[in-house]
């Protein structure tokens, strides 16, 4: 579009520069050919002088124009002098209006805006006089004809002037739109650059957060597998050390070895971000049932497992989280509760799954829990963190002397 507009502007400037020469030459040729019919000898000589003056005026303007801005005073003087010469030539011979018509084309560019209409009407007078039979009109009927033709020219000037103004307004609005579009594009480019920087920053933060999440995951997995396994091994070995019966000692020693093997396998799965080994071949209810039974045998505490609702296959992460929470709750019970009975219930509801672990132990005050120390486990905080990663919750109900109840709620998300 820019190249097309530039080409049109160049053609227009060429016409404004060479058009007057061509029209003057054509008018002079036609005037000379009709001089014996339309002019006297004296008028012919006068016309020749005026043609020479017009040619000289055009040469002057041709040298002056390149350094002049649009609507310059020099342009106004040139237009006025040319219009007067063209009017006189048309007075002498109506066919010289061929030269006068140039005023219609360059008045807008040569004259200040407030004088454009006057310049166009002056040209219209010359054109109307030529088309009505010559100047001056020689009879009332010719004057009427002159008035009608002049009114026609003036009306056309008004119509085309309005069209030109409308076009100029549209061009101005389009230019303003283009300028605003360029500013918008610049702001968009700046925003994209800022967005790229923010994206790079977010990626860095995401990588750092991923590293932190992986550290927390490994810490929680180690706590839920190796730490609990080692606790169980220590308990079994303490029984071995205190046992006088070799058969009892051998039994607890075998249990310690089994716990060591199981802990080693869980540690390997944790490193490779795999689910608990208990879920490899069993469903969540079966895995919980076995976990509760093994814990009961290991600790000597009576424990029961119950399932309510319709059992459905759950997403791997849901099952893994519930099993880990159950293992942690049972480990806490073994370490702190001094319970004689434990109940674990898995409930399938419409849109969530609930895991409840209750004991009849010594209980505690949930509001006065000590902070986790260097030797402490993830405990209740770890269980809550696991549930919250799945948009779930973990609630604790306990009172000194009245046991403890841990209740985990997670969304029911089916297996893929």
The pLDDT tens digits for 193-213 are 888 777 667 656 755 654 565
Burial grade of 412 (CB within 10 A; 0-12, 13-18, 19 or more) = middle
How far is 393 from 412, CA to CA, in rounded Å?
A: 13
What is the pLDDT at residue 215?
Answer: 65
What is the pLDDT at residue 89?
Answer: 92
Contact criterion met (CB below 8 Å) for 119 and 100: no
Do strands 341-348 and 302-308 pair parallel, antiparallel, or not at all (unpaired)? parallel
Contact criterion met (CB below 8 Å) for 305 and 407: no
pTM of the complete model beyond 0.85:
no
How far is 91 from 137, CA to CA, in rounded Å?
A: 10
In sequence order, what are the residues at sequence separation of 6 or more whose Cβ sits closer than 8 angstroms to the Cβ of residue 168? Answer: none
> Which position has the higher pLDDT, 175 or 255?
175
The DSSP secondary structure of 123-188, one letter per residue, reads HHHHHHHHHTTSSS--SHHHHHHHHHHHHHHHHHHHHHHHHHHHHHHHHHHHHHHHHHHHHHHHHH
3 state SS of 18: helix
Could you check whether the bond before residue 136 is cis, i.e. omega within 30 degrees of 0?
yes
What is the pLDDT at residue 335?
Answer: 85
Contact criterion met (CB below 8 Å) for 323 and 307: no
Contact criterion met (CB below 8 Å) for 371 and 206: no
How far is 391 from 401, CA to CA, in rounded Å?
A: 32
Reported as type and span, the H/E element at residue 9 is helix 2-33
How far is 129 from 149, CA to CA, in rounded Å?
A: 8
Contact criterion met (CB below 8 Å) for 331 and 292: no
What is the pLDDT at residue 1?
Answer: 47
> Is 60 exceeded by the pLDDT of residue 16?
yes
What is the pLDDT at residue 271?
Answer: 55
Separation of CA 104 from chain center: 51
Give the sign of the dihedral formed by CA 357, CA 361, CA 366, CA 370. negative
The pLDDT tens digits for 149-185 are 999 988 888 888 787 778 878 888 888 888 888 888 8
The pLDDT tens digits for 370-394 are 655 443 445 777 788 888 888 899 9
Closest by Cα among 118, 120, 128 to 148: 128
How far is 173 from 340, CA to CA, in rounded Å?
A: 87
> Is 60 exceeded by the pLDDT of residue 286?
yes
What is the pLDDT at residue 343?
Answer: 96
Average pLDDT over residues 261-277: 59
Reported as type and span, the H/E element at residue 407 is strand 404-411
Q: How many helices (H) and strands (E) does the chain have?
A: 13, 5
Tokens for 322, please give them: 């519930």
Three-point CA angle 370, 217, 327, nearest 5°: 65
């Amino acid at each position: 579009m820019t190249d097309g507009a530039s080409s049109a502007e160049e053609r227009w400037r060429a016409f404004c520069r060479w058009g007057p020469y061509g029209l003057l030459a054509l008018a002079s040729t036609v005037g000379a050919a009709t001089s014996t019919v339309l002019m006297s000898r004296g008028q012919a000589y006068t016309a020749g002088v005026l043609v020479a003056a017009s040619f000289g005026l055009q040469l002057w303007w041709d040298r002056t124009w390149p350094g002049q801005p649009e609507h310059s005073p020099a342009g106004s003087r040139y237009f006025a002098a040319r219009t007067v010469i063209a009017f006189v030539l048309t007075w002498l011979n109506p066919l010289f209006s061929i030269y006068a018509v140039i005023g219609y084309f360059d008045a807008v560019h040569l004259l200040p805006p407030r004088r454009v209409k006057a310049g166009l009407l002056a040209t219209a007078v010359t054109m109307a006089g030529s088309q009505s039979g010559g100047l001056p009109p020689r009879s009332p009927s010719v004057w009427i004809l002159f008035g009608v033709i002049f009114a026609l020219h003036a009306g056309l000037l008004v119509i085309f002037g309005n069209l030109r103004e409308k076009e100029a307004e549209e061009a101005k609005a389009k230019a303003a739109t283009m300028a605003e579009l360029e500013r918008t594009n610049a702001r968009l480019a700046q925003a994209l650059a800022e967005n790229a920087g923010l994206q790079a920053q977010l990626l860095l933060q995401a990588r750092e957060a991923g590293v932190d999440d992986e550290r927390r995951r490994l810490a929680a997995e180690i706590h839920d597998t190796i730490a609990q396994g080692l606790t169980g091994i220590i308990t079994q070995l303490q029984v071995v050390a205190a046992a006088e019966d070799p058969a009892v000692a051998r039994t607890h020693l075998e249990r310690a070895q089994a716990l060591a093997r199981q802990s080693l396998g869980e540690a390997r799965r944790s490193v490779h971000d795999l689910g608990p080994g208990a879920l490899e071949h069993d469903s969540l209810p079966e895995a919980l049932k076995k976990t509760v039974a093994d814990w009961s045998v290991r600790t000597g505490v009576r424990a029961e497992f119950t399932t309510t609702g319709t059992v459905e296959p759950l997403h791997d992460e849901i099952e893994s989280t519930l099993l880990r929470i159950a293992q942690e709750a049972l480990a806490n019970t073994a370490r702190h509760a001094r319970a004689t009975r434990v109940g674990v219930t898995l409930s399938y509801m419409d849109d969530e799954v609930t895991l409840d672990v209750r004991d009849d132990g010594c209980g505690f005050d949930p509001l006065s829990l000590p902070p986790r120390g260097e030797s402490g486990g993830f405990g209740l905080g770890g269980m809550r963190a696991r549930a919250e990663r799945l948009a779930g919750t973990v609630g604790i109900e306990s009172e000194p002397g009245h046991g403890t109840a841990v209740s985990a709620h997670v969304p029911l998300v089916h297996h893929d």
